[in-house]
């Protein structure tokens, strides 16, 4: 899309931390790139930077020179007052906060979660616009009293990366490889996945589970203990963080993505699985309901034996698998209608134009133009 913004604008973005392979950081980078295409410049700032050289260290005197500051929010931030004191127009993008009940083993993260929810509510009246990266997150904003929350594209699903042509060969009999991609944290419920693969193998169905993602070392230690206790050391592989290329190979080589997550603000791996034509089994909780829609296979129980039976039954039936994959392709098209770079560009450009031309000025301008034409 060619640059066409008639006025020079500058949009800065902020999130407390920036990490490589992090969904919020990737969102900020996508927004920055999309806006630059239409002539809107701006920097990304964070207090805590880790391996992202394009993100600048936050200092209040570096951020004031913008038309709009987009604040991305996903946890408590002790320095939030430094942001809200800045006398620039602000927009909030809410990426959801993991409830502290899932963080009881980590006092620091639990406190950040509780602080974040208090601070989120306090932002009312301090930001001009509010967005969520999913309807699930928008509803939470509305429940807190924010008005006018709408979805801001999290991904650019028009990119070639999301539109590859896959010629996947279905494996209709075991052994099967099950995949999960996500941080190693309790609310992602890798424990439930391990119990499910144990139930599959106990029933005589050979299956292996590959877990991608880094995260909570204490929870990881618990999971490894669970693997040993259940006797599935040869059936579960902890891969940690992997490169983009390795992740692509894992999607291509696996037979199903299985998600038993208790809490998601969007769940990008579901979309990644759709683009790889990989059948998805997931519990329809929180934002997974929205991202998966009516596609995939909904697992409606926490019972690993029943979930194992469902996975086994579905994967053996070619006609069923093909129908499910078709439903996922249709859902992907629905997501593309929402998560699109051009829609994001138009949304931000409209906000910026309203700052330069507020409604009263636009009305006056139209009246002057009308009078001039009359004479």
- The rounded average pLDDT for each run of 10 residues, N- to C-terminus, in the chain (375 residues) is 62 94 94 96 93 88 92 92 92 96 92 94 94 96 95 95 85 96 96 98 97 94 98 97 94 97 97 97 97 98 98 97 97 96 94 76 41 37
Q: What is the DSSP letter of 277?
A: T
Contact 181, 213 (CB under 8 A): yes
Q: Which residues have CB under 8 Å from 15's CB, separation 6+? A: 24, 25, 28, 44, 46, 71, 72, 73, 74
Q: Which residues have CB under 8 Å from 342's CB, separation 6+? A: 1, 158
Could you tell me the two tokens for 220? 């990881």
Residue 218: C-alpha distances to residues 105, 182, 234, 286, 341 (Å) = 8, 16, 22, 25, 38
| CB-count exposure of residue 167 (10 Å: 0-12, 13-18, 19+) | exposed
Q: Distance from CA of residue 347 to its chain's centroid? A: 19
DSSP 3-state percent helix, strand, coil across the chain (nearest 5):
45, 15, 35
| Dihedral-angle region of residue 215 (phi above 0 means left; psi in -120 to 50 means alpha; beta otherwise) | left
Question: In the prediction, which pLDDT does 318 show?
Answer: 96
Question: In the prediction, which pLDDT does 165 show?
Answer: 78
Residue in the block written with tokens 């699109």: 340
Question: In the prediction, which pLDDT does 194 show?
Answer: 98
Q: Distance from CA of residue 137 to its chain's centroid? A: 11
Report the alpha-carbon angle 101-269-254, nearest 5: 120
Nearest to 341 by CA among 349, 352, 331: 349
pTM over 0.85: yes
Strands 236-240 and 256-259: unpaired
Residue 275 and residue 290: Cα distance in Å, rounded?
17
């Amino acid at each position: 899309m060619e640059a066409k913004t008639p006025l020079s604008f500058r949009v800065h973005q902020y999130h407390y931390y920036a990490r490589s392979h992090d969904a919020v950081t990737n969102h900020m980078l996508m927004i920055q790139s999309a806006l630059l295409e239409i002539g809107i410049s701006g920097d990304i700032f964070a207090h805590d930077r880790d391996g992202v050289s394009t993100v600048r260290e936050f200092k209040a005197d570096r951020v004031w020179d913008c038309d709009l500051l987009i604040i991305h929010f996903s946890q408590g931030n002790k320095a939030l007052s430094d942001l809200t004191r800045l006398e620039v127009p602000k927009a909030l993008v809410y990426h959801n906060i993991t409830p502290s009940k899932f963080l009881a083993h980590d006092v620091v993260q639990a406190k950040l979660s509780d602080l974040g929810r208090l601070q989120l509510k306090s932002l009312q009246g301090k930001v001009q616009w509010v967005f969520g990266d999913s309807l699930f997150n928008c509803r939470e904003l509305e429940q807190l009293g924010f008005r006018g929350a709408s979805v801001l594209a999290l991904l650019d699903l028009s990119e070639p990366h999301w539109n590859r042509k896959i010629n996947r060969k279905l494996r209709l009999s075991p052994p099967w490889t099950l995949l999960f991609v996500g941080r190693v944290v309790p609310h992602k419920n890798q424990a439930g996945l391990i119990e499910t693969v144990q139930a599959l193998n106990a029933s005589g169905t050979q299956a292996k589970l590959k877990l991608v993602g880094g995260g909570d070392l204490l929870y990881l230690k618990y999971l490894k203990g669970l693997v040993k206790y259940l006797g599935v050391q040869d059936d579960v592989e902890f891969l940690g963080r992997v490169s983009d290329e390795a992740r692509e190979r894992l999607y291509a080589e696996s037979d199903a993505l299985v998600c038993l997550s208790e809490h998601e603000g969007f769940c990008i791996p579901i979309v990644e699985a759709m683009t790889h034509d990989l059948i998805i089994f997931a519990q329809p909780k929180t934002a997974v309901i929205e991202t998966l829609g009516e596609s995939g296979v909904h697992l409606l129980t926490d019972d690993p034996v029943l979930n194992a039976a469902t996975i086994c039954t579905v994967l053996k039936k070619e006609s069923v698998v093909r129908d499910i994959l078709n439903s996922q392709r249709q859902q992907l098209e629905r997501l593309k209608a929402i998560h699109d770079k051009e829609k994001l560009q138009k949304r931000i450009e409209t906000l910026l134009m309203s700052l330069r031309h507020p409604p009263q000025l636009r009305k006056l301008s139209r009246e002057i133009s009308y009078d001039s034409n009359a004479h």
